[in-house]
């Protein structure tokens, strides 16, 4: 959601900025814009739609010169998708340009005040209010004006600001939304995430909330919005260029689906010893005494991460015998939740920046919960907010539709549940057995991935249908929800996921001739019950696509199509059952001609509540 890249140095920065913002396209956006300073004047170009439209405009005008500049992709919050609302926004007096990620909550009050002072607005955005406010408070020093303006603002922001009167200066700041400063040799590249920086430098400063950084070609200075100097630490970005490039794949989603075995091998590396039945999670070690006393686990997330959290609930109850709940972080946050003693709140998030999950995490912490993170992005806001945690280690996820992060989250939650279970009641042998099985998952995933052509063929048979059901029970009820989410996100087919038993309580009314119903029907405790649910669908003309355990020939009598997954204990089965559904969703989107990596209206990291 919204991407920012800014540059200060000695090179003409248009191409650097465009290359950088393209690396952030995956975050989701609907318009873009570029501002540079040239001969003390601002040049601003904006376009609706893809960054390619902005590039066309830049080419038509013969390029945009300047060695200081900023670029932005906007995901509309305040005001429609128009060129007027696209960033950068400028003030009407000083010559200030601002790009912004986040939401200025008190923008309406500030706007009224600024209008009373005679400022004229040309957009409906909260960001233009910020530009005007900085201009209003400008007294010859951009850094002070930005600090003063941010003291007036409530809400979340990552901003980058330039000004005609200080043509060599860039000022950036953050609260709530991510921003980092890449420190190169005589040049600086600021960006919302490392993907836009890594081709220039691997050294970066991660801004903390309320940090303001003034950057010129000669150096930089970090302070707070109250002008208290801050000493920063330079981090090494652990990102390889090839991780954020497509290679031989057609889409990032496809690449990430196929990367899952490798990703999970990384997730597991050094974290368990099956022979000794031991799980070794460095991120929990310091809190072991406290965590062993856990009386309740509350798992929080949104979207795909919520589905992983739902599976986590089953895992913690089943393997660690701890009462657990999982819920939408956004609902938890605002319903006056009860946090008893020895409650552990776990934030599940790929990005570590999702505003709803972050807000819920802070709420749980304020109410006395021990907080843990199951997060992919190292150093992200949630990773820094939590008391303890375990990183996914699945590498950067670029595809908007989350795939490898989901299996990483489920795998980490499995290890956490075993880590706790083993410290409470579980014997070394039982734990060791499950760990051995967990270790087979990457190879078994590879087997499933080798059936891609077959999954494609099955998808072709149903791709014209506009309504699908995804059904599962127990551990695979959340997996069914995830299957439905994948399909709707990128193919825009209406799909519902639910517990297979729930279908007869209403959704069964939807079933008509040929309606596809994907059943997760692997061998497990509720296999017979799932078979009955399959019969109910078939009796009404629905077409069943079953995900079944290898060797189950019986199922062929009940399902039109079968996709087999290798045998695995039920508690680990979501890690395998999700894969054919990811592949189906991918093929459905491609067959329907959609842009898989840039699905309409979606953002990769949703930094507004
Ligand atoms: C957005 C994305 C989803 C993702 C959700 C949670 O809605 O489009 O794919 O599952 O946010 O993101 P997180 O980064 O917290 O896992």
Q: What is the pLDDT of residues 400-430, one digit of tens each?
A: 999 999 999 999 999 999 999 999 989 999 9
Is 608's pLDDT higher than 80?
no
Residues 6+ away with beta carbon under 8 Å from 255: 246, 247, 249, 399
Query: Where are the extended beta strands (E) located within 324-396?
Result: 324-328, 343-349, 370-375, 388-391
Residue at a domain's end among 242, 261, 295 = 242
CA distance linking residue 168 with residue 422, whole number of Å: 59
User: How much distance in Å is there from the Cα of 42 to the middle of ligand 1?
Assistant: 36
Residues in CB range of 361: below 8 A, 6 or more apart: 300, 329, 345, 347, 371, 373, 382, 385, 386
604 counts as catalytic: yes
Domain assignment present for residue 223? The answer is yes
Is the model's pLDDT at 1 over the cut of 80? no
Bridge partners (DSSP) of residue 228 are none
User: DSSP code of 225?
Assistant: T
Task: Find out whether 264 and 408 touch, Cβ atoms under 8 Å.
Answer: yes
- Closest atom of ligand 1 relative to the 405 alpha carbon: 16
Is residue 172 classed exposed, middle or buried when 0-12, 13-18 and 19+ CB atoms within 10 A define those classes?
A: buried
Q: How far apart are CA 564 and CA 556, in angstroms?
A: 11
Q: For residue 379, what pLDDT band results from cuts at 50, 70 and 90?
A: confident
Domain presence at residue 604: no
Q: Kind of pairing, strands 370-375 and 343-349?
A: parallel
Atom of ligand 1 nearest to the CA of 28: 8
Q: Which atom of ligand 1 is nearest to the CA of 377?
A: 14
Q: What is the mean pLDDT of residues 21-36?
A: 93
Confidence class for position 243, pLDDT limits 50, 70, 90? confident
Structure confidence at residue 398 (pLDDT): 93
Residue nearest to atom 4 of ligand 1 (CA): 303
pLDDT band at 337 (very low <50, low <70, confident <90, very high): very high
- Gap from CA of 338 to ligand 1 centroid (Å): 25
Residues 6+ apart with CB under 8 A from 464: none
Q: Are residues 181 and 309 in the same domain?
A: no
User: Two tokens at 171?
Assistant: 């000022």
| 312 and 406 both lie in a single domain | yes
Give the pLDDT of residue 256. Answer: 97
* 510, part of any domain: yes
pLDDT tens per residue across span 50-92:
999 999 999 999 999 999 999 999 988 888 899 999 999 999 9
Q: Which of 466, 446, 396 is nearest to 566 (CA)?
A: 446
| Selected catalytic residue, list 22, 404, 486, 604 | 604
pLDDT band at 239 (very low <50, low <70, confident <90, very high): confident
Q: Which residues line ligand 1 (CB under 6 A)?
A: 302-305, 349-351, 354, 357, 400, 402, 602-606
Based on the fold, state whether residues 214 and 259 are members of the same structural domain.
no
Question: What is the pLDDT, as a whole number, of residue 248?
Answer: 93
Is 602 a member of any domain?
no
How many angstroms separate the CA atoms of 528 and 534, rounded? 10
Which band of pLDDT confidence, cut at 50, 70 and 90, is reported for residue 33?
Answer: very high
Task: Give the mean pLDDT of 123-147.
Answer: 96
Residue 213 scores a pLDDT above 90? yes
Q: How far is the CA of 44 from the centre of ligand 1 (A)?
A: 32
| Claim to verify: residue 389 and residue 524 sit in the same structural domain | no
Q: Are 132 and 91 in contact (CB under 8 A)?
A: yes
Q: Which of the listed residues 177, 326, 402 should we mutate to test ligand 1's pocket, taking the one with most ligand atoms within 8 A of CB?
A: 402
Is residue 609 scored above 80 in pLDDT? Answer: no
Ligand 1 centroid, distance to 242 Cα (angstroms): 23
**Given 2, 163, 431, 571, which residue is catalytic?**
2
User: Which residues span the domain enclosing 309?
Assistant: 246-439
Least confident of 17-21, 244-248, 250-254, 363-367: 244-248
Can you give the pLDDT at residue 540? Answer: 92
Q: Mean pLDDT across the stretch 227-248?
A: 90
**Are 267 and 214 in the same domain?**
no
| pLDDT greater than 90 at residue 574 | yes
Q: Which of 256, 350, 359 to mutate to test the pocket of ligand 1 (most atoms within 8 A of CB)?
A: 350
Euclidean distance between CA atoms 26 and 209, whole angstroms: 24
Q: Ligand 1 centre from 214 Cα, in Å? A: 32
pLDDT at residue 606 in the model: 83
- Same domain? For 390 and 475 the reply is no
2 is catalytic: yes
- The pLDDT assigned to 207 comes to 95
- Tens of pLDDT, residues 170-203: 999 999 889 999 999 999 999 999 999 999 999 9
Q: How many domains does the chain have?
A: 3
Separation CA 539–CA 161 (nearest Å): 63
Same domain (yes/no): 504, 390: no
Flag whether 574 is in a domain.
yes
């Amino acid at each position: 959601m919204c991407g920012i890249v800014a540059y200060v140095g000695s090179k003409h920065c248009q191409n650097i900025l465009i290359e950088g913002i393209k690396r952030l396209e995956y975050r989701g956006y609907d318009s873009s814009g570029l501002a540079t300073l040239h001969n003390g004047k601002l040049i601003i170009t904006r376009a609706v739609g893809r960054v390619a439209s902005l590039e066309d405009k830049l080419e038509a005008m013969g390029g945009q010169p300047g060695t200081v500049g900023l670029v932005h992709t906007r995901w509309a919050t305040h005001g429609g998708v128009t060129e007027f609302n696209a960033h950068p926004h400028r003030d009407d007096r000083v010559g200030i340009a601002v790009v912004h990620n986040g939401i200025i909550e008190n923008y309406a009050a500030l706007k009224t005040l600024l209008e009373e002072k005679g400022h004229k607005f040309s957009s409906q955005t909260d960001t233009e209010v910020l530009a005007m406010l900085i201009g209003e408070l400008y007294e010859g020093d951009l850094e002070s004006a930005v600090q003063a303006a941010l003291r007036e603002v409530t809400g979340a922001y990552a901003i980058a600001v330039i000004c005609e009167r200080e043509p060599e200066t860039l000022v950036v700041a953050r609260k709530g939304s991510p921003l980092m400063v890449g420190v190169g040799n005589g040049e600086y590249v600021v960006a919302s995430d490392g993907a836009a920086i890594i081709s220039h430098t691997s050294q970066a400063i991660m801004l903390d909330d309320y940090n303001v950084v003034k950057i010129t070609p000669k150096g930089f200075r970090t302070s707070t919005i109250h002008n208290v100097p801050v000493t920063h630490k330079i981090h090494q970005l652990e990102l390889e260029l090839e991780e954020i490039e497509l290679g031989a794949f057609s889409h990032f989603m496809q690449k990430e689906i196929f990367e899952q075995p490798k990703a999970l091998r990384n997730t597991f590396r050094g974290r368990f010893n099956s022979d000794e039945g031991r799980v070794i999670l460095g991120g929990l070690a310091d809190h072991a005494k406290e965590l062993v006393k856990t009386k309740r686990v509350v798992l929080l997330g949104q979207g795909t991460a919520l589905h992983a959290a739902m599976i986590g609930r089953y895992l913690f109850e089943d393997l660690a015998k701890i009462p657990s709940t999982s819920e939408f972080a956004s609902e938890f946050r605002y319903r006056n939740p009860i946090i008893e003693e020895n409650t552990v709140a776990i934030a599940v998030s790929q990005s570590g920046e999702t505003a709803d999950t972050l807000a819920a995490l802070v709420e749980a912490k304020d109410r006395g919960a021990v907080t843990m993170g199951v997060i992919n992005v190292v150093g992200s806001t949630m990773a820094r907010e939590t008391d303890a945690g375990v990183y996914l280690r699945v590498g950067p996820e670029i595809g908007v539709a989350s795939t490898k992060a989901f299996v990483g989250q489920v795998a980490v939650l499995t290890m956490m549940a075993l880590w706790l279970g083993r410290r409470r009641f579980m014997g070394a042998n039982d734990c060791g057995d499950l760990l051995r099985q967990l270790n087979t998952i990457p190879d078994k995933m590879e087997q499933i991935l080798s059936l891609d052509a077959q999954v494609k063929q099955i998808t072709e048979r149903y791709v014209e249908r506009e309504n699908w059901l995804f059904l599962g029970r127990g551990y695979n009820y959340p997996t069914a929800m995830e299957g439905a989410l994948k399909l709707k996100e990128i193919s825009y087919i209406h799909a519902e996921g639910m517990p297979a038993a729930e279908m007869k309580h209403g959704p069964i009314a939807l079933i008509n001739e040929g309606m596809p119903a994907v059943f997760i029907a692997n061998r497990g405790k509720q296999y017979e019950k799932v078979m009955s649910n399959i019969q109910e669908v078939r009796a009404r003309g629905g077409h069943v696509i079953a995900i079944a355990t290898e060797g189950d020939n019986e199922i062929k009598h009940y399902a039109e199509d079968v996709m087999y997954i290798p045998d695995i204990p039920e508690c680990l089965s979501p890690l395998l059952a999700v894969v054919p559904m990811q592949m189906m969703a991918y093929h459905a989107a491609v067959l329907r001609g959609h842009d898989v990596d840039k699905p309409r209206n979606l953002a990769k990291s949703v930094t507004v509540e």
